[in-house]
């Protein structure tokens, strides 16, 4: 017997007091993030917004915001970026299509989903840059999509900085993220 596959329409009918994602038709309930997770997301978002105010290349969005990649793929990355010339994919109900950059803060309970499943899915849908943030290790990996596969283009653990390839001139010191 085949399992029921969830679609975006099914997703819209779910309870609004819980957070979910739909990965290739599988409904995944997401627990509330930890305070450490939220502090890291806030610190990163602050750095991204400072860059945006100076350079203005597009818009950043903070979770929870739905990113609808396909009828059976709805995700809520921690931070999402869309270039100005593509802002037509941003609607009131979410982002309908692949953003240019996504950030996932990895927790022990989401490690496989974030580092394997979402990595594959984000590559499949052509998301240009994918940041993985590891709170326990105090590290960040920046991955760029090249030939349909993500390659690590910048990383730092405990100290140093990481730099974006998609957002020219954006470098973030780890000390600003892991306060």
Give the CATH number of the domain where residue 70 resides. 3.90.1570.10
Domain count, the chain: 1
Alpha helices in 28-127 (DSSP H): 35-55, 111-112, 118-124
CA distance 1 to 4: 9
Q: What is the pTM of this model?
A: 0.89
pLDDT digits (tens, 9 = 90+) for 26-84: 888 887 889 999 999 999 999 999 999 999 899 999 999 999 999 999 999 999 999 99
Give pLDDT tens digits for 133-165: 999 999 999 999 999 999 999 999 999 999 999
Answer yes or no: are the C-beta atoms of 123 and 150 closer than 8 Å: yes
DSSP state at residue 58: E
Looking at the domain assignment, is residue 17 inside a domain? no
Evaluate whether residue 8 is within a structural domain: no
Answer yes or no: is 1 within a domain.
Answer: no
Q: Give the structural domain span for 126.
A: 33-177
């Amino acid at each position: 017997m085949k399992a029921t596959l969830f679609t975006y329409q099914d997703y819209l009918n779910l309870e609004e007091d819980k957070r979910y994602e739909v990965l290739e038709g599988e409904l995944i309930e997401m627990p509330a993030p930890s305070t450490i997770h939220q502090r890291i997301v806030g610190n990163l978002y602050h750095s991204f917004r400072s860059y945006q105010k100076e350079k203005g290349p597009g818009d950043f969005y903070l979770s929870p915001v739905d990113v609808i990649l396909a009828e059976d793929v709805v995700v809520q990355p921690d931070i999402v970026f869309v270039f100005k010339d593509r802002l037509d994919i941003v609607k009131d109900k979410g982002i309908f299509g692949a953003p240019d950059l996504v950030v996932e803060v990895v927790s022990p309970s989401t490690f496989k989903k974030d580092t394997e499943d979402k990595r594959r899915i984000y590559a499949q849908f052509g998301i240009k840059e994918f940041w993985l943030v590891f709170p326990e290790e105090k590290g960040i990996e920046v991955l760029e999509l090249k030939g349909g596969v993500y390659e690590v283009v910048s990383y730092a653990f405990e100290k140093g900085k990481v730099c974006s390839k998609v957002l020219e001139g954006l470098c973030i010191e780890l000390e600003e993220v892991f306060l």
